[in-house]
Structure 1
């Protein structure tokens, strides 16, 4: 089993293979979060099924569901943290303000 991904010191991002991924908003209550994660997984399965069936309309519907769930979770859309810190999703951590932290966090976070 793989180790848990690193979390940036401010708690905003996970670092997976050196790349930043926005975390779920901590303001969400457990039941709400679980419901949204369930919807996200259902939407991803629907997208996979629609792609296999070559159903363009169903693919677009499933993509919209995925986007809505990820936005509700805080992983997309407006940032869930206060202040004016920039959003840096999907960027390589070594090219962001987290570079110095990453250098001391360990080699597991950086890609080979």
Structure 2
């Protein structure tokens, strides 16, 4: 079917929905730390929603958004930027995320 999403080096498909891939140029340690923040953010959203805590939901969604931007899964298309810009963007996201824990 012509309208089906297609996987490529920029996207993958799950249940017919296309998702942006993590930037492949990011160092493994950066991806690992960003992924940890992403998981904590997603868990925080779930817990905060169950508790009815709108402020905590917003804070957790902010963590998810920062992590996904750092991973290249949101924001500027990573494949359109030079590698040094992409890595710098990921490291900046990590700094912001780490600051949330202070």
TM-score by shorter chain over 0.5? yes
Per-residue CA distance 1:86-112 (angstroms, 9 max, x = gap):
xxxxxxxxxxxxxxxxxxxxxxxxxxx
Match for residue 69 of structure 1? 67
* 5+ residue gaps, structure 1: 1-6, 84-112
- Cα distance in 1 between the residues matched to 2:17 and 2:41: 24
The TM-score normalised by the length of structure 1 is 0.64
The TM-score normalised by the length of structure 2 is 0.70
How many residue pairs match? The answer is 76
- Cα distance in 1 between the residues matched to 2:58 and 2:80: 32
Q: Which has the higher contact order (CA 8 A, sep 6+)?
A: 1
Off by >4 Å, runs of 4+ in structure 1: none
Structure richer in helix, relative to its length: 2
Match for residue 46 of structure 2? 48
